[in-house]
Amino acid sequence: MRLSRAFLPTLKETPAEAQIVSHRLMLRAGLIRQTAAGIYAWLPAGQRVLQKVAQIVREEQDRAGAQEILMPTIQPAELWQRSGRYDDYGKEMLRIRDRHDREMLYGPTNEEMITDIFGAYAKSYRDLPRNLYHIQWKFRDEVRPRFGVMRGREFLMKDAYSFDLTKEGAIHSYRQMFVAYLRTFARMGLKAIPMQADTGPIGGNLSHEFIILAETGESQVFLHRALLDYDALREAPDYDSDLSHITEFWTRHYAATDEKHDEAAWNAIPEADRVSARGIEVGHIFYFGTKYSAAMGLTVAGPDGAPVHPEMGSYGIGVSRLVGALIEANHDANGIIWPDPVAPWAAAVINLKPGDAATDALAGQVYAALAPDALLDDRDARAGEKFADADLMGHPWQVIVGPRGAAAGRVELKRRRGGERAEVSPEDAIARIRESRSA
């Protein structure tokens, strides 16, 4: 994409309504535009990041054996009346009536709908285990939408639902998702710590929240320092093997949010190993047994022919919240510093003298080699403005091409993270950019 033709609006002023850095930078870098309180349009750069994040989530769900579907955003109230949650859910649920006066709602989550869909096909224990997920917009009429996409009203969530014959099977499915989550966040360059959690209105008895440490997080968290050193990508786990050692590691070391904080356990940790910080919840997983299968009458024939309610779990990731969380964890005074795997473009090629034949040719050559994973700044603007925009938008690499370099067949390659600069051949620049993107 050439900047002279792109819709990539950046703002110089700091928007007054934004209280935290990720919200300010998302507005300034032109990622989102608020259309109503807690509801956002995603502009081209934001949409690309959102899709990159969703794709990593998708790949790790698939790898763990879950299958992607797509359920609608609008649901009939009748489904929720069957589970008994229609009245309980309260004002967070956006309720709608269609022209026939039928009660509908904009889905805040999909336990009821998936139980209904899966139940229409599952007949016997041979149809288990299964795990189905989708990446779909949700609506929750939050009392206080704030911090941009971090606490929106409409937001993109990945939610997966597992069905098993036995409790042991369901716990295995839970552990598969637990590991998939560790891998998912690690691939984005984030350290997400699983913490024992309350199960809330979804109900059940085994639950973890995945929390990223950030000063502006809404949760107070306490953990053992050892958890920060865990490398989730070191070896790809075989999802069909015994995964208990992985969850055991996280249980052995203390990690809790404020609600689950245990002073005695905390004091037992050597003082030097205690980390107390703020965190952002980016994922939440639940095992809730037969709560929905029993309430909604989902049964399959067990091995002895007797009907059984499948054991279920649900597994959420805040895909749109992650975009904000990624910025909270990756920025400096000049703007965003995208981690390579989620950056909207791998590089910005900055032409310092548009109209100069040799500079245009060299910048065009580097851009063509990297496109569509690069932007070409061919605007008729001051160099300072181009550098500031590239820093603000956070491209992992900047390739700076000026008349002097063009004459010598050299470009300047700048790494956004760390700020190192080197004069290299165009081929070297292209190779290094491609390599870091595919790593």
Reference 318, options 292, 279, 287, 289; nearest CA is 279
User: Residue 25 or residue 165: which is nearer to ligand ATP going by CB?
Assistant: 25
Which residue(s) pair with 350 in the sheet? 377, 400
Torsional class of 103: left (φ above 0), alpha (ψ -120 to 50), beta (otherwise): beta
Reference 134, options 75, 54, 68, 184; nearest CA is 68
Which of 138, 284, 321, 331 is in the footprint of Mg ion by CB under 5 A?
284
For residue 316, what is the enclosing H or E element? strand 311-318
Q: Where are the beta strands (DSSP E) in 69-129?
A: 74-76, 94-97, 103-106
Spell out a b/e string for 111-149, using b for 16 or more CB atoms within 10 Å of the CB, else e. Answer: bbbbbbebbeebeebeebbbbbbbbbebbbbeeebbbbb
Least separation, in Å, of the C-beta of 322 and ligand ATP? 7
Least separation, in Å, of the C-beta of 320 and ligand ATP? 6
Convert residues 240-279 into a mask of x (bound to Mg ion by CB under 5 A) and - (unbound): ----------------------------------------
Rule CB under 6 A: which of 131-190 touch ligand ATP? 140, 142, 151-152, 155, 157
**In whole angstroms, what is the distance from residue 289 CA to residue 64 CA?**
20
Which of 23, 175, 321, 395 is in the footprint of ligand ATP by CB under 6 A?
321
User: Residue 284 or residue 291: which is nearer to Mg ion going by CB?
Assistant: 284
Which of 30, 119, 129, 316 is in the footprint of ligand ATP by CB under 6 A?
316
Which residue(s) pair with 278 in the sheet? 220
Q: How many residues bind Mg ion (CB under 5 A)?
A: 1
Which residue's Cβ has the minimum distance to ligand ATP? 318
Question: Which range, of 45-53, 60-68, 296-304, 314-322, touches ligand ATP by CB under 6 A?
Answer: 314-322
**In whole angstroms, what is the distance from residue 150 CA to residue 20 CA?**
10
**In whole angstroms, what is the distance from residue 364 CA to residue 375 CA?**
11
Least separation, in Å, of the C-beta of 207 and Mg ion? 8
Residue 308 binds ligand ATP, judged by CB under 6 A? no
Question: Which range, of 6-14, 179-187, 281-289, 380-388, touches Mg ion by CB under 5 A?
Answer: 281-289
User: Residue 68 or residue 259: which is nearer to ligand ATP going by CB?
Assistant: 259
How far does Cα 361 stand from its chain's mean position?
38
Residue 282 binds ligand ATP, judged by CB under 6 A? yes
Return contacts of 376-383, CB within 8 angstroms, 24+ apart.
Answer: 376/1, 376/2, 376/3, 376/348, 376/349, 376/351, 377/3, 377/348, 377/349, 377/350, 377/351, 378/2, 378/3, 378/4, 378/351, 378/354, 379/3, 379/4, 379/354, 380/4, 380/354, 380/355, 383/350, 383/352
Which of 284, 291, 395, 410 is in the footprint of ligand ATP by CB under 6 A?
284
User: Residue 281 or residue 377: which is nearer to ligand ATP going by CB?
Assistant: 281
| Alpha-carbon distance values, 224 to 194, 201, 273, 274, 427 (Å) | 12, 29, 6, 5, 45
Question: Choosing among ligand ATP, Mg ion, none, which partner's interface includes residue 192 (Cβ < 5 to 8 Å by kind)?
Answer: none
Least separation, in Å, of the C-beta of 257 and Mg ion? 10
Least separation, in Å, of the C-beta of 24 and ligand ATP? 17
Rule CB under 6 A: which of 56-115 touch ligand ATP? 109
Q: How many residues bind ligand ATP (CB under 6 A)?
A: 16
User: Residue 151 or residue 284: which is nearer to Mg ion going by CB?
Assistant: 284
Residue 194 binds ligand ATP, judged by CB under 6 A? no
Least separation, in Å, of the C-beta of 22 and ligand ATP? 12
* Burial classification of residue 223, based on how many CB atoms lie within 10 Å of its CB (0-12 exposed, 13-18 middle, 19 or more buried): buried
Which residue(s) pair with 397 in the sheet? 347, 415
Rule CB under 5 A: which of 301-320 touch Mg ion? none
User: Residue 316 or residue 335: which is nearer to ligand ATP going by CB?
Assistant: 316
Compute the Cα dihedral for 68, 192, 239, 130 and give only its sign: negative
Question: Choosing among ligand ATP, Mg ion, none, which partner's interface includes residue 142 (Cβ < 5 to 8 Å by kind)?
Answer: ligand ATP
CB 247 within 8 A of CB 175: yes
How far does Cα 258 stand from its chain's mean position?
23
Gyration radius from the chain CA atoms:
24
Least separation, in Å, of the C-beta of 314 and ligand ATP? 9
Question: Choosing among ligand ATP, Mg ion, none, which partner's interface includes residue 157 (Cβ < 5 to 8 Å by kind)?
Answer: ligand ATP
**Contact positions toward Mg ion, by CB under 5 A?**
284
**Contact positions toward ligand ATP, by CB under 6 A?**
109, 140, 142, 151-152, 155, 157, 200, 281-284, 316, 318, 320-321
